[in-house]
Amino acid sequence: MRNYDFAPLWRSSIGFDRMFDLINNTQLLEGPDNYPPYDIVRTGDESYRISLAVAGFAEDDITVTAQQNLLTVTGRKTEEKTETPAKDFLYRGISARAFERKFSLEDHVEVEKALYENGLLQIDLVRRIPEAMKPRRIEIAAAQDAREAGKDKPIDKTAERLRIAS
């Protein structure tokens, strides 16, 4: 595992601690293997889709959990309770082992929906930025308007005396 030293950046950066921790902990989020395989696709300006290939699992075997900045997908195969005797596999190529896949999410990314169809679990994500954080245009007043607005304010006598004395 490789750790990076961000001490020089910490001297001049404020509020980036979480980003530096994410970079250092990327290997903790990734499992030792790449099971189940997945794709991440941008579906719009503010929307994404994660597709996981979970063949052999039923909808009830998969749990999708979203908590603060972390999306966790867990799969646990339930034992089939059938009256037929256990099957004697000659070859078993469809893996049904338990898994846990974690995805780190940006602050305002939310899970919109999850859909399981034909062995693919598709999780739609959307970035919803609060109105207070969106850029807004600030109107610029003309200098004449600013001077006229200042005439209505009471005059500071101390500042005026200093101005007259100099």
Fold assignment, 34-138: Immunoglobulin-like (2.60.40)
The model's pLDDT over 68-108, given as tens digits with 9 standing for 90+, comes to 889 999 999 876 654 556 678 888 887 778 999 999 888 88
Lowest mean pLDDT among 28-32, 89-93, 138-142: 28-32
Question: Do 87 and 93 contact (CB within 8 A), yes or no?
Answer: no
Q: What are phi and psi of 156, to 5 degrees?
A: -80, 115
The CA distances from residue 118 to 12, 65, 83, 95, 112, in Å, are 50, 21, 26, 16, 20
In degrees and rounded to multiples of 5, residue 54 shows phi and psi of -120, 50
Q: Strand pairing of 38-42 and 47-53?
A: antiparallel
Q: Which tens digits make up the pLDDT trace of 105-118?
A: 888 899 999 999 99
Assign 52 a pLDDT band (cuts: 50, 70, 90): very high
In the chain, CATH 2.60.40.790 covers 34-138
Bridge partners for 65 per DSSP: 72
